[in-house]
Amino acid sequence: MSGFSADWLALREPADARARAPELTKRLAAFCAGKQKLRILDLGSGTGSNLRFLAPRLKVAQSWTLVDHDEALLERAAANEVPAGVEIACRQLDLAKDLAGLDLSGIDLVTGSALMDLVSADWFDRLAAACRAAGCAVFFVLTYDGVMEFRPTERLDGLVRELFNRHQGEDKGFGPALGPEAPKHMARALIAKGFRVETAPSDWVIEAGERKLQLALLEGFLAAAEEIGPARAEELRDWAARRRRLATRADARLRVGHEDLFAFPSEG
């Protein structure tokens, strides 16, 4: 699977934390309350942003295993301070190639942030089946749902969104990616496997004061759109130039749609 730089992960982390659906985090905390020690597997953990957000909010002793293919990101994660009562282990594993290498025995919760729109339907279905067999809950957050809204608007915004969403459905290392269809597919697949599923929106809303993040996203949107629509590269670059100028305005705003999902095995 393709990787993400530590700088990019750090840039997006405040927006990620702000976007998360608070009601689902509270539901997860209530579900976990009373456990002597919560055993958590964090997939595609990067530098540990998911742990940094969730660990202080779960209010029970926790043992986290952070799983990522990037050794350098795991080293950063291991170097971070953690709250009292939280243990961390790191495991380097290419999830795209070795999902079967995950050991879910004894795991209470499988979680992941900004990952599930990158995986294929088959990959996710196999993960859902493994989680059901192990009897663990799942908490997947910040899954892209295809929404991209700029303010002020610009005439090619719709084209860029269409091309970007097509790009999101291409192979990211796991097979054809779920892309914007990920939230719906996850819910259907987990229900079919016998989970109770709860979802809530967790959109990024990036205001003018976060211009660096706006511009980084703009470059990512442009690169993906050009790859899908090379014949329109000149138009797309002109659009990006206009968007960079608009990003300097006090009313510049970008909304990127995401969804959070919490699911746990039904009784019986």
Lowest mean pLDDT among 48-52, 78-82, 152-156, 167-171: 78-82
Which two three-digit tokens encode residue 8? 């990019």
The residue with greater pLDDT, 150 or 82, is 150
Task: Give, to the nearest 10 degrees, the angle between helix 211-228 and helix 157-168.
Answer: 70
- In this predicted structure, the answer to whether residue 1 has a pLDDT above a threshold of 50 is no
The mean per-residue pLDDT over the stretch 6-18 comes to 95
Write down the pLDDT at residue 3.
Answer: 57
**6-148+172-205+255-265 CATH pick, 3.40.50.1950, 3.30.70.100, 3.40.50.150, 3.30.450.20:** 3.40.50.150
Write down the pLDDT at residue 82.
Answer: 86
Beta bridge partners of 149: 255
Domain coordinates in residue numbering, the chain? 6-148+172-205+255-265
Write down the pLDDT at residue 80.
Answer: 87
Lowest mean pLDDT among 78-87, 143-152, 176-185, 239-248: 78-87
Separation in Å, CA 191 to CA 6, 108, 129, 242, 268: 35, 18, 11, 44, 14
C-beta contacts of 25-28 below 8 A and 24+ residues apart: 25/54, 25/57, 27/198, 27/262, 28/54, 28/58, 28/109, 28/137, 28/139, 28/262
- Model pTM? 0.95
- In this predicted structure, the answer to whether residue 38 has a pLDDT above a threshold of 70 is yes
Instruction: Name the percent of the chain lying above pLDDT 70.
Output: 99
In tens, the pLDDT along 178-194 reads: 999 999 999 999 999 99
pLDDT mean across residues, the chain? 95
With contact defined as beta carbons under 8 Å apart, do 142 and 114 qualify? yes
In tens, the pLDDT along 123-173 reads: 999 999 999 999 999 999 999 999 999 999 999 999 999 999 999 999 999
